Structure 1
Amino acid sequence: MTTVLSLRGHPLSRPRILLSLAAVLFAVHLPFLHLLLRGPAPVKAAAPFHDEFERASLGENYWSNGGQWRIASGQVYSPGVGNNPLWLLMRLHARSEGADGDLKFEAFGDGRNHATGYVFIFGGWHNRETKIAKLDEHAPTQEDLRKALASAARPPPRTVQGIDRMVEAVREPIAAWSARRDLTRLEAGTYYDEGTPLTVTRTDLRVERARTYHMVITRKGRLVRWEMDGKLVLELDDPAPFRPESHDRFGFSSWQNDTYFDNLKIEAP
């Protein structure tokens, strides 16, 4: 027996209804079509680049999709923009007024979206952590990942009853096998690819309110190096560095604190 489904005679088959439905679907998907077709962020500056921000407005070299970024007293002012970076429209010194620290900027992103490159966070999470984060500031460090996988690979015995016991009898061996496989890949150096988040972290640094810091970021091959006032803060050895054609932008950022940036200088290696 053959069954044929047809909308003939159905109210949705009327041209006026179909046209309205198509218009609604197009409107709903328009933002996604825009993301797909918009292409890379524009370029309006070139290295070497130097900006002291001694003017009234940011000008055409900068762009942001959120937050009231502006120039105040010769500095870039970020009034707690909630991770909406101010991107410099170019391929590739700061202070915080908040008691909780959280100085933040991004390098080698896509020029449009937060956390698309390396995020540099000084005194984040109520002035407790300083880190370089690739793609995700909440991602584990390599050592934390190793410990988590080792624990999952050899889970301690648990007492479960009923249906939970049946579920765990199937789930646990698969999860343990997957963890052992990932642990082997991690030790062999094949776990990370370009899209795998990674962080390096330290917890002994604190942002001093209203103090001005001079930051220097250097990237050479796999190594991303962050220096502050002439001293090393962190180094990230990225096993799978970004391709330069899609990760080549710099942006100022912040979370909830008022932050000021000044004297930006970018040079090609």
Structure 2
Amino acid sequence: MKRRPATAAAAEAEVPAEAGGPVTARRPALGRRGWLVLGAVILGVNLPVLHLLVRSEPRASGQVPFSDDFSDPGTVGRNYRSYGGYPRVSKGELLSPGTKNNPLWLDAALPHDVVVEVSARPISPEGEIRVTLFGNGIDADTGYQAVLGPWSPMGTPQRLGSSLVRLEENGATLSRWLSRARVPGDLRSAGFKKDSGLRVEAVPVTLEPSHVYRMRFERRGSVLRWTVDGRVLAELDDPFPLAGPGHDRIGLSSGEWDVYYDDLRVTPATGTGFAPVAAAPPEPAAGPFSDDFDRAQPGPDWLATDPAAVSIEKGALVVQRAHNHPAWLKRPLPENVVIDLDVWTDSPEGDVKVEVFGDGQSFHRGDMRAAYDATGYVLVMGGWRNTLSAIARMHEHAADRVTRADPRVVPGRKYHWTIRRQGRVLTWLVDGQPFLTLDDPDPLRGPAHRYFAVSGWESKVYFDNLKIRPL
């Protein structure tokens, strides 16, 4: 059968895909009508985004003072505005169902000097409890965000502790800003401006599921103070306080997990000074302590500065991807002490680490690539990818640390450590054999150097059978 010859027009419409390959027809260009249809589709799909860009702050219909015990399910519709997440009243509490930081905004303008009180109950130690103050009633990143519990800034997997954020979640920390200041304590001299982002690193808190956290926010003049259960967590003296239209709303939200809010009160600040802070609870006495970790959670004796990095597995305390965020034992150490514990890891990178005579709450702050400045002595076996073991006094890379290269940590092998301090001498035994000794002419003592912690970097490390006794 003869093939029908192609016409000249058909020949022009065909282009060979490649030598010896099939002939492919050239597609006709998109016409005027096609472009109009495509443009209409793109516009329709992006209308919500365009609306976010051009919409103005909603006008407030409510007034301050305001209080709400969330006993009435209709309060959400009457007194608040929401743009996603489906916050609602459930059994006399406001449920923020893992709204991914879509706040429920109170439909009332905040005065410049104000007191906000609210209770929050998380269902998970992962948090995160989020309150936005002096936002625009639409977007959480237009005000101050108080984040209670571990969290990750937008666009990064980095885990951070509780923070007070100004405008930008990925902004520099307050300590970083102040380190640049030409005049000590003056943010303006560091180049800080009205639209600058900043993050205040708060006192570490380990969230306990179903615990009711009573939070208070108080602003007077340029100072914003955040307290939880009567304890000051963070404070910021802002040279450019967020205030006025665009910065006068409060919002309640959550991250990935549900949070329940209750007993919201918003009142103008009266008087001349901040409310008195509750006295700190008495510190437990230093003395004998033991822990076999035979339970499901670390428990009230431990403060995990990154709860996501700490867990209990197979009757042992586990630290993984801690990035120098220790889990602190809340009980103080005797000044002269013997500490026994079992340690192991399945990682060939080693990096088994504890801290002794630290302050009981500090952790690595700022850039993860920077060196860690501890508050106590750091003892690390197989650190730096299983190349070095060391005792370091506060600074892991300092010249006065004592080190050894061998032996390296063997994956899966359990080691028994004994750490002893008598006077100025800190000794470390591994499986009963001397390992390293540090003679410190200026021993770390006093209230800021009384606590023990387990820590680490990336490796998954197990700790068990902890025993502490005075000498």
TM-score tier after normalising by the smaller chain length? 0.7 to 0.9
Mean alpha-carbon deviation: is it higher for 136-145 or for 216-225?
136-145
Contact 2:174 2:201 in 1 (8 A): no
Q: 2:170 aligns with which of 138, 148, 166?
A: 138
Contact 1:128 1:205 in 2 (8 A): no
**2:67 is aligned with what amino acid?**
H
Q: TM-score, normalised to structure 1's length?
A: 0.73
Equivalence map 1:1-269=2 (5 Å): 16=33, 20=37, 23=40, 26-27=43-44, 30-31=47-48, 33-57=50-74, 58-92=76-110, 93-125=119-151, 129-145=161-177, 189=189, 191-269=191-269
**Aligned-residue offset at 1:218:** 0.9
Q: Structure 1, unaligned stretches of length 5 or more?
A: 1-10, 150-182
**Aligned-residue offset at 1:244:** 1.4
Contact 2:65 2:268 in 1 (8 A): yes
Question: Does the C-alpha gap of structure 1 residues 91 and 23 become closer, same or farther in structure 2, counting only changes over 3 Å?
Answer: same
Question: Does the C-alpha gap of structure 1 residues 188 and 231 become closer, same or farther in structure 2, counting only changes over 3 Å?
Answer: closer
Contact 2:94 2:262 in 1 (8 A): yes
**1:69 is aligned with what amino acid?**
P
**Aligned-residue offset at 1:202:** 2.9
SS in 2 for 1:143: helix
**Aligned-residue offset at 1:120:** 0.3
**2:81 is aligned with what amino acid?**
W
SS in 2 for 1:189: helix
**Aligned-residue offset at 1:139:** 2.0
Aligned counterpart, 2:332: none
SS in 2 for 1:99: coil
Question: Does the C-alpha gap of structure 1 residues 243 and 204 become closer, same or farther in structure 2, counting only changes over 3 Å?
Answer: closer
**Aligned-residue offset at 1:114:** 2.0
**1:259 is aligned with what amino acid?**
V
CA RMSD, Structure 1 to Structure 2 (Å): 2.8
| Structure 1 or 2: more strand by fraction | 2
Separation (CA, whole Å) in 1 of partners of 2:243 and 2:236: 16
Separation (CA, whole Å) in 1 of partners of 2:229 and 2:72: 26
Higher alpha-carbon Rg: 2
SS in 1 for 2:141: coil
**Aligned-residue offset at 1:140:** 2.1
Separation (CA, whole Å) in 1 of partners of 2:54 and 2:170: 29
**1:228 is aligned with what amino acid?**
V
Structure 1 segments of 4 or more deviating over 6 A?
none
* Higher relative contact order, chain-length normalized (CA < 8 Å, sep 6+): 1
Separation (CA, whole Å) in 2 of partners of 1:72 and 1:28: 34
**Aligned-residue offset at 1:35:** 3.4
Q: How many residues align?
A: 225
Separation (CA, whole Å) in 2 of partners of 1:33 and 1:138: 24
**Aligned-residue offset at 1:197:** 0.4
Separation (CA, whole Å) in 2 of partners of 1:191 and 1:25: 41
Contact 2:84 2:99 in 1 (8 A): yes
| Structure 1 or 2: more helix by fraction | 1
**Cα offsets for 1:241-266 (capped at 9, x unmatched):** 22412100000011012111001010
Mean alpha-carbon deviation: is it higher for 249-258 or for 34-43?
34-43
Separation (CA, whole Å) in 2 of partners of 1:80 and 1:70: 12
Separation (CA, whole Å) in 2 of partners of 1:99 and 1:24: 43
Contact 1:222 1:240 in 2 (8 A): yes
Contact 1:199 1:236 in 2 (8 A): no
**Aligned-residue offset at 1:80:** 1.0
**Cα offsets for 1:112-169 (capped at 9, x unmatched):** 112210000112239961111001233221323466x6xxxxxxxxxxxxxxxxxxxx
**2:208 is aligned with what amino acid?**
E
Separation (CA, whole Å) in 1 of partners of 2:197 and 2:127: 24
